A and B are shown apart, each in its own frame.
Chain A
């Protein structure tokens, strides 16, 4: 085995090692920016330019459909009467400072629940709160769809979606 071959093997091996590192990083990169938008991407099929799908999704909620909920109203509890616009959804509900709907309710957790939309549908999701989030009478364990007027109970507070 000549000295030259060994030197070549040495550098080739280091190159392979770095190619692995760099390709791992490039897969992570495409993972960061390449996530498809759910509905549009699935409909278009195949690989879509991610930025195009993103643009379309962003232009969609510009004009809310007639009859779609636009605000959350607190109908019972310490903050009764407060309304919050749904425009900057997802909304975080809880006692914490960073909550969009800040509740003055001893039975609510710091980060209690979240209201978010998927397409036209609004969902409420419990964020691991201590006392739970109730839609109607049942405690929810997964993101649950809510309509106009569905009563969402958090501690002693009741929220509703309104037009």
Chain B
């Protein structure tokens, strides 16, 4: 992790990163063109005229993103310049697609609910949370003090949907809590807290985990007291998720834990152990859980008439109809696919923007993850390194599981596509994740403060006074 690679060497000879806030502003304007342009194109494609609320929608997006930009200028001047524009573009594109599917559904059934306006409200909340995190949290290392608090809070949040009266079952998963008309998925917040907890724990115990312990077969097993607390934390959260039938999130937490353990200890054996544990667990799940069998059958042969894979097949046909350049925004039929605005939004994108558009979206996610890992590389403290890695892996796994599922690379499991899908809790949590990443990257790229004023003029061999503080 802190091996003296090129980044260390360059730091030693005194490289400083530039602020690049101007570059961020230019990219941000471009991302606004992407977001608002999509909204306008949807209106032109569906009705043949520009949407009536284009101005208010565009202004709202502009105010939100420029507000975030100003907060960055003021409170995190050295933060990575690419993250915010990517998030803005994805979010704007997602809003336009949700709005487009709203229009499509309302054309068939005028009473259908509109999700786009709610999503815009959630995006506003997300941006407010983003600003709050950056203003309140001036140094990410302070989070290390909340290691166990974060772990406990994550488990409590995961348990909340099981509380009678508070929890709600939607689409067969009991992962929601409802307060009045609002429903919220606490697991989305729990994943951020778990990253903090894992990072805080592993940074203290990585030496012990990597060095102390017995060797079994070709894997160094650490001592129980080193691994115990984190293993417990992780098993509890995983157990809760399996109990709540939330396969996607359990997969996400499993992968997250494994990657962070691997990064912290530098032992590839963990990947072997984790991989085989996953294979065994997946097989047992396949044998015992009915809904897993349905998913696998739909994955292997969705066109089999005996298999209930209507959603998957509609998504595949949509993407096939989209082809290389898509039908054009507003000119496909993405509303036919069930949940085309949330889980299957990538299929809707594929239908209207084609392979070209979907590749651009996947590349944007790729850049997002790359920036997170780059932040981890240049970060000076190990807690920040682990946290940035964990947050990047959360995005990477989510995108892989969702897009892999929709495109039939792996069996479909329900997870949200970050920033694109309709779903408030996920959107708000992802904005918080990006704020944390920007905070870490600001700390990492900021030039180190001048420590002791080195007196260049004093060119003598005389013994100097050592400042012992």
Q: Interface residues, chain A, CB within 8 Å of chain B?
A: 1, 5-7, 9-11, 13-14, 16-21, 23-25, 27-28, 30-31, 34-39, 41-42, 57-58, 65-67, 89-90, 92, 98, 100, 109-111, 114, 116-121, 123, 127-128, 130, 135-138, 142-150
Contacts and interface: CB of A to CB of B under 8 A. Distances in A.
B14 A38 contact: yes
B14 A119 contact: yes
A7 B327 CA distance: 9
B162 interface: no
B468 A137 contact: yes
A1 B466 contact: no
6 contacts: A16-B34, A19-B30, A23-B30, A119-B454, A120-B454, A147-B464
Given A17-B360, A89-B12, A98-B3, 19 more contacts: A1-B48, A6-B44, A10-B329, A10-B331, A13-B41, A17-B34, A24-B82, A28-B370, A36-B15, A37-B15, A39-B14, A41-B16, A67-B460, A92-B4, A116-B11, A121-B451, A127-B2, A138-B468, A144-B451
Interface of B: 1-4, 8-18, 20, 23, 26-27, 30-31, 33-34, 37-38, 41, 44-45, 48-49, 81-82, 85-86, 89, 203, 207, 210-211, 325-329, 331, 353-354, 356-357, 360-361, 363-364, 367, 370-371, 381-382, 447-448, 451-452, 454, 456, 459-461, 463-464, 466-469
Contact of A90 (B8, B89, B327, B382): B8
A22 B209 CA distance: 42
Contacts of A98: 3-4
B14 A57 contact: yes
Contacts of A142: 451
Contacts of B459: 65, 67
B82 to A, nearest CB: 5
A64 to B, nearest CB: 13
B15 A20 contact: no
B328 A7 contact: yes
A28 B382 CA distance: 23
B454 A14 contact: no
Contact of B447 (A38, A90, A136): A38
Contacts of B364: 20-21, 24
Contact of B466 (A21, A111, A150): A150
Nearest to A28: B82
Contacts of A58: 13
B468 A135 contact: yes
A20 B329 contact: no
A14 B357 contact: yes
B193 to A, nearest CB: 22
A128 B203 contact: yes
B8 A23 contact: no
A24 B14 contact: no
A127 B382 CA distance: 8
| 4 A-B pairs closest in CB distance | A38-B14, A10-B328, A1-B48, A145-B452
Given A19-B30, A24-B367, A120 B456 contact: yes
B27 A24 contact: yes
Contact of B18 (A14, A21, A35, A39): A35
A120 B311 CA distance: 66
B451 A145 contact: yes
A20 B29 CA distance: 10
B325 A11 contact: yes
A143 B451 contact: yes
Contacts of A138: 468-469
A117 B4 CA distance: 14
A90 B27 contact: no
Nearest to B371: A28
Contact of B325 (A10, A19, A90): A10
Nearest to B82: A24
A42 B147 CA distance: 39
Nearest to A2: B48
Given A6-B44, A19-B30, A130 B207 contact: yes
A11 B211 CA distance: 56
A19 B80 CA distance: 19
A17 B353 contact: yes
B367 A31 contact: no
Nearest to A119: B454
Given A6-B45, A150-B466, A20 B30 contact: yes
A10 B10 CA distance: 45
Contacts of A143: 448, 451
Contacts of B331: 6, 10
Nearest to B4: A92
Given A67-B461, A98-B4, A110-B211, A10 B326 contact: yes
Contacts of A119: 14, 454, 456
Given A1-B44, A6-B44, A18 B464 contact: no
